[in-house]
Amino acid sequence: MHTVTKSASATRFSLQSLPALVLALLGGCATSMHSAPAPEDAEVIPITEQWLDAQRRSIASAPAAGQDLGSLAVTEPGLYTYILGVGDVLAITLWDHPELTGAVARDQGVDGAGLGPPAASFVIDQQGKLQFPFAGTMDFAGLTREQASALLTQRLARYFRDPRVTLSVQAYRSQRVYIDGEVRTPGLQTVNDIPMTLLEAINRAGGVLPNADQSRITVERAGRRHQVDLIGALRDGRHAAAVMLHNGDIVRVPPRDESKVFVAGEVLQPRSLTMHDGRLTLNEALGEVGGINPQSGDAGQVYVVRQTAQGPRVYRLDARPSRALALAERFELRPKDVVYVAASPLANWHRAISQLFPGELSSAVGATTRP
């Protein structure tokens, strides 16, 4: 029997009344009721309109709600500036003094006008330094292109009058991010002067595959893993494109198969369901399995069992009133939730009698129906 016991303080739900399959989905390793561990009873939270309203207000008033994007630093792409690093190749031209870069003047054009000296390549070494004639050794790692050009000009001004320096990045090699998972071309992506936002990295990887779950993208940075709901951010008008990736970040786009909800008990088609970009309501879950079994299900005992850091948490919906569909549509499920519909008292009685007297109940029913 699937029982709900009441105490003086709160309604409790006996998790031992759940079948072994549901317990296994919650993390148990039992294969039968006798071998299942004996979890403690869990308090039942009724799914009511007042509770749903309170949950919505709690989420809306949470600190930095709709802005933190998984605790990642958010920067406006227009404020982005590339920082030079080890391995970057710089193209440097010192006008009117091509001999300093070892360059040879280009051929004259048809009209005899010179096209100017070509740029020479210089690499920032492993110590983050760069050497240039007369300027000596300079620390370039950690500077922007403008700062590096100003430093070089300042050093050359000691020996040349009004030196004209042109400095650009010829090859970006110091910063890279790695993107994996459900994208068309996973692998390394080089960070350049174009802001490497989360959306930019995904687009450079060819975009996401149809099986991708864009609501649970993870960004691993400095040993910490952050989760970004890209779909939710775009839906809520947040600046998801401004999630700036850093050198060494690992981005993973998981498949939808990793975000499943399990529906068991007295439903027409018990099975696991895949969430749609991280969203699935209780009403949608019941609809996808054909609804509650009208012959054996108890619509007054629809449970959602959720594993949390504090232990299993149980929510109950009384689906008998007409307004219950609206409540079920507002209840958002989470990955690994177990939706369980208990059997009606009559179905439990029928099964108990059938176990005590196998075949006798069906024979009696058949006898009463024969003319």
Residue 238: CATH number of its domain: 3.10.560.10
Q: What is the DSSP letter of 200?
A: H
Q: How many CB atoms lie within 10 A of CB 232?
A: 17
Looking at the structure, do residues 295 and 237 belong to the same domain, yes or no? no
pLDDT in the model for residue 5: 43
Looking at the structure, do residues 26 and 96 belong to the same domain, yes or no? no
Classify residue 72: in a domain, yes or no. no
- Sign of the Cα torsion 266, 268, 273, 276 reads negative
Looking at the structure, do residues 279 and 292 belong to the same domain, yes or no? yes
State the Cα–Cα distance between residues 118 and 106, nearest whole angstrom.
7
pLDDT in the model for residue 347: 80
Looking at the structure, do residues 280 and 249 belong to the same domain, yes or no? no
Classify residue 60: in a domain, yes or no. no
Q: How many domains does the chain have?
A: 3
Range list of β-strands (E), the chain: 4-6, 11-13, 42-46, 89-94, 120-123, 129-132, 136-139, 165-171, 176-181, 187-190, 217-221, 224-228, 250-253, 260-265, 271-274, 297-308, 311-317, 338-343
Looking at the structure, do residues 297 and 314 belong to the same domain, yes or no? yes
The half-sphere exposure of 76 on its side-chain side, counting CA atoms within 13 A, is: 2
Amino acid at 320: R
Q: What is the DSSP letter of 279?
A: B
Classify residue 12: in a domain, yes or no. yes
Residue ranges, the chain, pLDDT below 70: 1-42, 60-71, 73-78, 100-119, 236-242, 359-371
pLDDT in the model for residue 339: 95
- 285 Cβ neighbours under 8 A, 6+ residues apart: 261, 263, 273, 333, 339
pLDDT in the model for residue 182: 95
* Residue-wise pLDDT tens digits, 219-277: 999 888 888 888 877 776 666 556 889 899 999 999 988 889 999 999 999 999 999 87
| Domain limits for position 299 | 4-46+259-344
Looking at the structure, do residues 166 and 180 belong to the same domain, yes or no? no
State the Cα–Cα distance between residues 208 and 203, nearest whole angstrom.
8
* DSSP H helical ranges for the chain: 20-25, 49-60, 145-156, 198-204, 230-235, 282-288, 324-330, 345-356, 360-369
pLDDT in the model for residue 7: 38
Classify residue 312: in a domain, yes or no. yes
Classify residue 359: in a domain, yes or no. no
pLDDT in the model for residue 110: 40
- Tokens standing for 156? 């050359």
Looking at the structure, do residues 158 and 196 belong to the same domain, yes or no? no
Residue that has been written with the tokens 């409790």 in this structure? 12
Q: Residue 248 phi/psi, 5° resolution? A: 90, -5
pLDDT in the model for residue 149: 95
Whole-model pTM: value is 0.69
Bridge partners (DSSP) listed for residue 123: 89
Q: Residue 294 phi/psi, 5° resolution? A: -70, -20
Classify residue 311: in a domain, yes or no. yes
Looking at the structure, do residues 130 and 199 belong to the same domain, yes or no? no
- Tokens standing for 105? 């003047």
Classify residue 362: in a domain, yes or no. no
Classify residue 280: in a domain, yes or no. yes
